[in-house]
Amino acid sequence: MSIPSDLEIAQAATLQPMDEVARQMDLPTEFLERHGTDVAKIELDAIDAMADRPRAKYVVVTAITPTPLGEGKTTTTVGLGQAFSHIGKRGVVAIRQPSMGPTFGIKGGAAGGGYSQVVPMEKFNLHLTGDFHAVTSAHNMLSAVLDNHLYQGNAVGLDPYRVTWRRVLDVNERALRNIVTGLGGRMDGVPRESGFDITSASEVMAVLALSNDLAELRERLGRIVVGYTPDGDAVTAEDIKGAGAMAALMRDALKPNLMQTLENTPVLVHAGPFGNIATGNSSIVADRIGIHCGDFLVTEAGFGADMGAERFFNIKCRTSGMAPDAAVVVATVRALKVHSGNHKIVAGKDLPPALLEENPEEVHAGAANLRKQIENMRLHGVSPVVCINAFPTDHPSEHAAIREIAESMGARAAVSTHFADGGRGAAELAEAVAEAAQEESHFQLLYPDDATLREKIETIATKVYGADGVDYAPAANTSIDLYERNGFGGLPICVAKTHLSISSDPKLLGAPTGWRMPVREVRASVGAGFIYPICGDMRTMPGLGKNPAAHHIDVKPDGTIVGLF
């Protein structure tokens, strides 16, 4: 049976009015700020108004180390949220807002897929309520204030060669990665090297995701470090009087967005921090609302469990004080076969024919990755459930192989057909998650706040990634010493590495051992509240491919958008 395209399915959906979606959550409609008929923002006053209500079970969806195509975390998150209604429970979903860079690039949108989507798909992927524009504006406002400060005499003594604050834009644009500003005459500013990142990589986006309320947002924006003096003292947005204007631009963006799935399950869509150099998780304020609006709050952590889930636990949960009750680890036949080392997937190209042949032995050969990611959940005291995300090209024997691997680790497992069948296809998964969430919680953070930065980095590298140790480049050691001298040593760690391996080397599949993690550089997101060591070359401004999605997206005379996927 052929399935219509994601866009065709989404455009055929029957949407409920926002008031009805809110009523499903027992969310008083007085807290809705409507943006048209099918999207609304939620006033932050709702957090205190619902604080005395019972707390939902808090479930995070993560995955094994993915292929370049991804293994369906968002689709699983949406499908699981829908599935709870099929077992007599109320689910609420909380996910990130996608960047328009990937939407117009090679990856496409991030509304889920098949019959487990967030709708309207077009609004979800294009602008929504303008939060990304607010982040872009606030970030670039600080850039303008910074360059004006240099031009007007540089009263704080900022070293122009040690400025760390760049500019952002929500498009894939490689030509802007490295630029020179201030060219022209004396009246055109102070010439210096700079560059652009994509908006999702902005520290302002991470601040949005990790702030508990407006007062904290304002405080975090003020703590953003824009550079250093010649003596190595940090210069902040507060120091150059830029934080207040940024907060004004971000005031309304802090309100989470309310949407719905194809089955009208409520969805909180908010924030979109970069998955490589930031948390890759949706916002704390969305979770603080959703946790009192149903029986289960299902949220998603970016990339594999070694990255997104580790950051969810040790950065987001540390900041919010909320503890997860269960974790879903999404696994696919194709990804485990790739981890066997026998196949290679290239984005934009057809799958190798041999990958689609029935071969449960190859699934077992790639099992080490699944086992390690289950261990990573238990390392944090969270009960894991393996979601076998079924594709039409899979074989029952291969699903049975994944189930055997999960059960050998003492983990629950469920086959889920949510892409093709919507919520009812994830009912078995929902039952397994409900059972896991009833178990006594033993959630624990991986390291204490007062550990040194090197101790925190090495704990993540050895315990989560399986490295033998960490090797620091001289520049990395210098930065760590600088940050600890400036009082940033108490911040948690967000390791920036490849998402295609548990290790820092994308070529190492499975669960590699006998390797050391190289840290070539360490940067600080002080306002957001974490330090990020960089392993390898992290691109924070993607480029467009030869045949990007932008070539195919268009609008008909009646206003219907086509070409999204």
Going by the annotation, the residues of the binding site for ATP are 67-74
373 token code pair: 């990611």
Q: How many CB atoms lie within 10 A of CB 213?
A: 15
Distance (Å, whole) CA 456 – CA 491: 9
**DSSP-derived 3-state class of residue 415:** strand
Q: What is the DSSP string of 417-481?
A: -HHHHGGGGGHHHHHHHHHHHHSPP----SS-TTS-HHHHHHHIIIIIS--SEEEE-HHHHHHHH
**Known binding-site positions:** 67-74
- How would you classify the pairing of strands 326-331 and 384-389? parallel
Query: Under a CB-based contact definition with an 8 Å cutoff, are residues 371 and 305 in contact?
Result: no
Distance (Å, whole) CA 126 – CA 497: 28
Bridge partners, residue 40, by sequence: 34, 258
Tell the residue number behind the tokens 């908010």, with chain if given.
270
Query: Under a CB-based contact definition with an 8 Å cutoff, are residues 21 and 262 in contact?
Result: no
Burial of 490 (0-12, 13-18, 19+ CB in 10 A): middle
What residue ranges in 170-294 does DSSP mark as E strands? 179-181, 192-194, 196-198, 225-228, 234-236, 257-261, 266-269
Radius of gyration of the chain (CA): 23
Distance (Å, whole) CA 225 – CA 152: 19
What residue ranges in 64-200 does DSSP mark as E strands? 91-95, 112-113, 116-119, 167-169, 179-181, 192-194, 196-198
Backbone angles phi, psi at 287, to 5 degrees: -65, -35
| H-state helical runs in 270-392 | 284-290, 310-311, 317-320, 333-339, 360-365, 367-379
Backbone angles phi, psi at 310, to 5 degrees: -60, -40
**DSSP-derived 3-state class of residue 14:** coil
Query: Under a CB-based contact definition with an 8 Å cutoff, are residues 298 and 330 in contact?
Result: no
Distance (Å, whole) CA 204 – CA 217: 9
Distance (Å, whole) CA 479 – CA 225: 13
Distance (Å, whole) CA 153 – CA 137: 24
Bridge partners, residue 112, by sequence: 117
Name the DSSP letter for residue 29.
G
CA terminus-to-terminus distance, the chain:
20
Distance (Å, whole) CA 372 – CA 279: 21
Looking from the CA of 212 toward its CB, the CA atoms found within 13 Å total 10
